[in-house]
Amino acid sequence: MRNCWNLTLSKLAGVLFFLLAPIAHAQFSKPEIELTEENRYLFPIRPGSPASLAGTMGELRSTHFHTGIDIRTNSEIGWPVVAAQNGYISRAGVSRTGYGLVLYVKHLDGNSTLYGHLDRFHPKLHKHILQERYNRKESEVDLYFTEKQFPVKKGDTIAFSGNTGASQGPHLHFDIRDTNNQALNPLLYNFTEVRDNTPPIATRIAFKTLDINSRINDKFGRQEFYLQRSGKDYLLTQTILAHGKIGLEILAHDIVDNARFKCGVNYIEVWVDSVQLFTQHIQQLNVAQGRTIYSLMDFRKMQADGSRYYRLYKEEGTPLNFYEQSPGTGVLNIREGQQVAVRIVMKDFHGNTSQVKLKLRHSNPVKELPTLQSAKVDIAADIDENTFMMSVKPCPEGSPVALVHAKGTVVELEPTYLNEVKAVYLIDLRTLIPDSIQVCDRTHVTNLKALVPSKREYRYYSNRIDIRFPERALFDTLYLTAEHLVKTDSQEVFSLGPVTAFGQSIEVTLKPVRSYTTDSKTAVYRKRGRSYSFEGGDWTSGRITFYPRELGDFVILRDTIPPGITRIYANNQAVRFKISDNLSGISTYEATINGNWLLLNYDAKTGTLYSERLDNKELIRGDFQLIVTDVAGNNRTYKTKIP
């Protein structure tokens, strides 16, 4: 690798103009870099050849926005990865999670490029990193370099593509980041290798009532509809009856040529008749604020079935800056006598445009609603925004009036709407937080405990659960539910709701009634159906404190079973093992040969450990030992003599 610090500041004027120039939102115009051969970024995989992408910048992932592009390698590893521009390797990492093997290259224009999920580094760099891992006796490292250690020129091979870390298949993750750690869209750099002739695709539209008085087709709540394709556009053929404040959500994706994968839609606008109501432009991302995705994506829907809807209105309190050019919040307010035509315009970075067209007509709320479907259970309750919603089967006899108990008072509540098979009651939680509700001979306990405000610290205390919400944990007001149950199988369950994700961890202290052995082997686990995921926790005076980032059901379990070790092979050239754990998960692993540390690489996706020697001429011969420890502190040792 050669030094190439030959870019002058004057030649960077075009790049600086790109970083600073505003983007005109109405025409979806994008900044152009004044490209010369010297400041043009090189595509990092097989430059000059058509490329296939499996992901784009701004795409919605389960816990974060995707910050770059995923370049496919035809299910192969080992494709050469080249430096996109002159500079030096500033950082390298080896991890079993995240980007796996990753490189960062610093460039003269101030930007950095990131190359993730690598199989191996350039031989000179790989040897240096390998030596550092042996020096530190650590399999996972995060190393920083000076500009003189590993200078590179544009086009130099710096690594080879792989499938390491949290990758779901062989590919290269490629980021471009500015000096403020903002991820920029690589597709703005006019890579001709990426071709896209297909406009964004929309499959479903959702309408959401945003206050207690709003209705969609005479009902409160969130309703979804499939869209019908018409050429490159999409139609909702039925007219939606609406009243009051309504929010739109869209399930949409983009695709590029030579790929079947669903990519993100970065430019979306909402027009009502001829007036622009909303703009959402995902142009750059703060990589340190990944969980802000939950103020754009419908988290509850994603948790329920994996669908990732774009919310086409601005949530109150959102920290995202995607709406700086938006003329409004995106909330539709359908009033008496109105009929409006809504047009949702979607555009990708190559200029391909598609539209979704639909109509809403005002309809006053009604109490008698023949279209209500039968209630599936006697009583079902939910919280939506600031509204408590309860659905019940009709009373066999007597009045359908509900008795709402709240802080020692009783309030009579008529059904908001009903028919002969179902009655629906709505309560504005800003004015009344019910403790329980009685309908006929049935009683529903709400378990509503507190109104938790956003943007300030809040503490909740009870006999069994204490919670501290940090100042920046909540994106919006939370109506906290809490319940403690000891089930017939003696499992103690602490339920916290509703389903909510936070910008940062909250602090939860559980005060169990059952007796537990209070050491590191006993911890909190999140319960999802029949599966459990480790949350951890520290014991103090019979209480355990942990730090979740989502609400849900939590149990206290004890893990006393050590990890499993299965030998695949062990000879004087290499060793390979399969490791697993039944509950808390793998924490550490360490191997020695004749007492000397031996590096093992870990592929968490397959649970495989495999050796890498510092000197390939030195055989692995003698007394071999492998110790694997789980998160609960249980360990298992495997010993053998390798001839």
- For 256-287, how does the pLDDT look when each residue is reduced to its tens digit (9 = 90+)? 887 788 888 989 999 999 999 999 988 888 88
Question: pLDDT tens, 87-105?
Answer: 999 999 999 999 999 999 9
Identify the pLDDT of residue 139.
96
**pTM for this model (two decimals):** 0.87
pLDDT, average across residues 161-180: 94
Identify the pLDDT of residue 26.
32
Classify 399 as helix, strand or coil.
coil
pLDDT, average across residues 200-207: 97
Q: What's the start-to-end Cα distance of the chain, in Å?
A: 40
Residue 14: phi and psi, rounded to 5, are -65, -40
Where residue 555 falls among pLDDT bands split at 50, 70, 90? very high
Mean pLDDT of the chain: 90
**Class of residue 215 by CB neighbours under 10 A (exposed 0-12, middle 13-18, buried 19+):** buried
Residue 11: phi and psi, rounded to 5, are -75, -10
pLDDT, average across residues 390-394: 91
The single-letter DSSP state of residue 368 is B
- Is the per-residue pLDDT at 10 higher than 60? no
Identify the pLDDT of residue 607.
95
CA 521, 595, 96, 145 torsion-angle sign: positive
Residue 208: phi and psi, rounded to 5, are -130, 130
Q: Which helix (H) or strand (E) holds 184?
A: strand 182-184
C-alpha span between 452 and 471 (Å, rounded): 11
As a whole number of Å, the CA-based R_g of the chain is 28
Closest CA to 249 of 303, 289, 290, 307: 307
Provide the b/e sequence for 15-27 (b: ≥16 CB within 10 Å): beebbeeeeebee
Where residue 34 falls among pLDDT bands split at 50, 70, 90? low
